[in-house]
Amino acid sequence: MTANASRTHDIDVADVEYVHHGDKPLLARLFRPRGSGPFPLVVEAHGGAWCRGDRSNDTVINEPLAKSGVVVAALDFRMPPEAAYPASLADINYAIRWLKARAGEFGSRPDLVGILGSSSGAHQAMLAAMRPRDPRYAAVPLHASAAAVDASVRCVVMCWPVIDPLARYRYAKKLKAGGKPYPEVVDRVLPCHDQYWQTEAAMAEGNPVQALERGERVELPAVLYLQGTRDVAHPRPDLDRFVTHYRKAGGQVELELFEGEAEGFITRNPGSPAAGRAIEKIIEFVHTQLA
């Protein structure tokens, strides 16, 4: 672990509005280390199959990361039934630009920004990082004085991502078609796939693995990929395809597999040795990449 990552900081936590749509504000929960900085800044996207959850979901990751000396901005974003894909990507893209434009106010710098997510949030974090200038994702304008700020990031932390939404959808449908008993995750995620994506064509388009397989020109920031070996919600073949193609395209991926751990092992069992090791790895990676 780097010297900076081994320090412990007191932190301040506050919710701030970063954008609003109509009369509805969207909030970011800011975890800010006390001190002069400049600190790395990590934008965080929660999971919940694109349809559930909020900025408080991953506090068990965000808080220790902030205490290591990182500004963390955990986002709320639009979800079904309010809005389907790509609305959440537009919110995440805007949040990155908004935070970069104000990085000095928050004790960071615009060149010290990464993104982190879990499950569907990790999928969105990776997609946002690969396509920072996609006009659909960058559709919400920033104020004129910061119009030149883009949504590029230097690193991505993915905790058990839905890295290929279409493959996961078909995997879950096949399990359901086989009849019970099947993993409970099937009934939990299938309706959300339909609500968020609406079509299989959209699942194929907004897809980090298939974008690489199509040879799409994408950004390739450094990636930390964490997953348990007993995770039935995020199929292992999809992980392997992403890692292979990302590296083939010239990207760096650090893959950390946690033996015997299932979906969401950090947030579901935060006191476990595996969760502790995973959080330490995240802290080390962020400080190394955003030094």
> All domains of the chain, ordered by start, with CATH?
11-289 (3.40.50.1820)
Question: Does residue 186 contact residue 176 with C-beta atoms inside 8 Å?
Answer: yes
One digit per residue, the tens of pLDDT, for the chain of length 291 reads: 454 556 799 999 999 999 999 999 999 999 999 998 899 999 999 999 999 999 999 999 999 999 999 999 999 999 999 999 999 999 999 999 999 999 999 999 999 999 999 999 999 999 999 999 999 999 999 986 666 899 999 999 999 999 999 999 999 999 999 999 999 999 999 999 999 999 999 999 999 999 999 999 999 999 999 999 999 999 999 999 999 999 999 999 999 999 999 999 999 999 999 999 999 999 999 999 999
Residue 4 pLDDT: 54
Residue 45 pLDDT: 98
Q: How many CB atoms lie within 10 A of CB 61?
A: 26
Residue 36 pLDDT: 86
Residue 144 pLDDT: 67
Residue 263 pLDDT: 96
Q: Which of 282, 151, 153 lies closest to 221 in space, CA to CA?
A: 153
Region at 152 (left for phi over 0; alpha for psi -120 to 50; beta for the rest)? beta
Residue 143 pLDDT: 82
Residue 216 pLDDT: 98
Pairing of strands 24-33, 11-21: antiparallel
Q: At what angle do helices 87-101 and 120-130 cross, to 10 degrees?
A: 60
Q: Which of 34, 92, 33 lies closest to 63 in space, CA to CA?
A: 33
What is the pTM (predicted TM-score) of this model?
0.96
**H-helix or E-strand containing 183?**
none
